[in-house]
Structure formats: structure tokens, C-alpha cells
Amino acid sequence: MEEDSTKNISAEETAQMLNVADKRVHFKVHITIFIVINAIMWALWFTLFNAIVTSETIRAAILKVFICVTLVWLLLLILHYCIAYKWNKTFVEKELKKMRNMREKQLKEIEKLKAKIAETKAKNQTGQVQGGN
């Protein structure tokens, strides 16, 4: 039954799904690395640097560096999340879809106008035939 559902998916859709899955896997690896490195970094701060470094100035500088690294990396991680989960369609694909939808609406409107013109012609011909008798 699972094979039947995969047969209905086009090659383009499969490629898009693989692209999205790839981005999401890379994000999960990124967040794992973030957690491990930050855990090590802050463990070092609380165990070694805080205890060994006696100069308050150096301790404050190291603390500021650790905070900056953590915050900047966290911002990059949030951006990576947005790319992997929220913005998984490129802006070009979104614009193309919007343009296709507009084109479909235009084609429907053209068909309606053609039908209206044909209807008007038919009424005019019917009127001429009745008027000619």
C-alpha cells in the first residue's frame, strides 16, 4: 500500500521533498552540535575558568566572549530553523506559484469572455433570423 502512494508522486515532488528533508537533517545536526559545544563551553567556564582565573577583568572578558558566542550562534540556529522548517520553499518558487495562479485566473476570465461573446453572437444571429422572417 505504501508503494501505491509513492507511485503518485512525481519526480519533481520527490526532489523537492528530498531537498526539504536534507535541510531538516542538517538543522538537526546543527542543533546537536550547538548543544554539545555550548555544554562543554559553559562547563569549562563554571569548572575551570571561574575557579582558575583570578583576575576579575579577564574572567569578565571570557564570560562576555562566551555569552556573545552563545547568542550569535543561537541567532544563526534560529535562522537555520526558519530556513529548514518555515521557508522551505524558495521565494522564486512562491513567486512562480503566484504567477501561475494569476495566469489561471486570467485564462478562466478569457474563457468566460469567449463564452459571453459566443452567446451574444448566437443571440444576434437568432434575432436576425427572426427579424428576417
Q: Where in the sequence is the domain holding 20, given as residue range(s)?
A: 1-88
- Together in a domain, 99 and 81: no
Q: Tell me which amino acid residue 94 is.
A: K
pLDDT surpassing 70 at residue 120: yes
pLDDT surpassing 80 at residue 8: no
> How much is the pLDDT for 109?
94
- Together in a domain, 105 and 82: no
> 118 Cβ partners below 8 Å, 6+ apart?
none
CB neighbour class for 99 (10 Å; exposed up to 12, middle 13-18, buried from 19)? exposed
> How much is the pLDDT for 129?
62
**Number of domains the chain is built from:** 2
- Together in a domain, 74 and 118: no
Name the pTM for this structure.
Answer: 0.58
Alpha helix ranges (H) inside the chain:
2-7, 11-44, 50-52, 56-81, 91-132
6 and 27 in contact (C-beta within 8 Å)?
no
